[in-house]
Amino acid sequence: MIDIHCHLLPDIDDGASSLDDSLQMARLAVEEGITHAVLTPHITPGRWENTSAIIAAATNAFRQALEEEGIPLQVDYAAEVRISDQIFSLLAADQIPFLGEWEGYRVMLLEFPHTHILPGTDKLVDWLIRQGIRPLIAHPERNRELMQKPDKLRPLLDKGCLAQLTGASITGRFGAEARTAAEYYIREDLITLIASDAHNTSTRPPAMAAARAAIASLVGEEAATRLAIDAPAQLVSNRFKAG
């Protein structure tokens, strides 16, 4: 499997807390059946001021450590970009790394606040689409406003947004409301793909297999394979060599 959203890089955000921690997460990912991971540290203005340059350097160092440890996990990088007005200047400075491509658009992993949908989000989405960028909305099922009114996601998808579901939501890690929203989105076929959003080895490990099985029992094996295997591979097909 390819995991397109995870926080394995050490000391760069609220993910792995040390290189040892990162390597242990990578070992767990491999045990899980994850062969490729796109590392997506937070870019959150005022909190985690990461840039393409910082994330690229950290990824290169981590890739070397993986090779030295003999851990067969291929890694590349993007970022989880918190919605803010700094997106404009970061894009102008070419400091937001993209996940991949989808139907001719570059794809940015976009994070909403956990509580609500910011006023003006629709305008930002329109602007991004005009720049040839499709936002991939990170875990909408964990946003409180969307948990209460999941159909508020639909207008954003209609504009061209994609949606990433976090595997642990559908297996219950984030509570009943997130699980209910996750199941709704899966049944309504509003999700583009799933990812682990792993942050550590214990409470938020790099897990995708159980989510894939849960989705299969909900809507069938074909849809589960599309969300866990085919769509992530399509998104990052320009990043990793075949295999």
Residues that bind Fe ion (CB under 5 A): 80, 197
Nearer to Fe ion, 76 or 197 (CB): 197
3-class DSSP state of 162: strand
Q: Closest separation between CB of residue 80 and Fe ion, Å? A: 5
- What torsion, rounded to 10 degrees, do the Cα atoms 31, 35, 38, 39 define? 30
3-class DSSP state of 135: strand
Nearer to Fe ion, 80 or 183 (CB): 80
CA angle in degrees (0–180, nearest 5) for 13-21-67:
105
Nearer to Fe ion, 15 or 150 (CB): 15
Nearer to Fe ion, 80 or 141 (CB): 80
Q: Give the nearest residue (CB) to Fe ion.
A: 197
Q: Closest separation between CB of residue 138 and Fe ion, Å? A: 6
- What torsion, rounded to 10 degrees, do the Cα atoms 7, 194, 231, 122 define? -90
- The whole-angstrom separation of Cα 25 and Cα 5 is 13
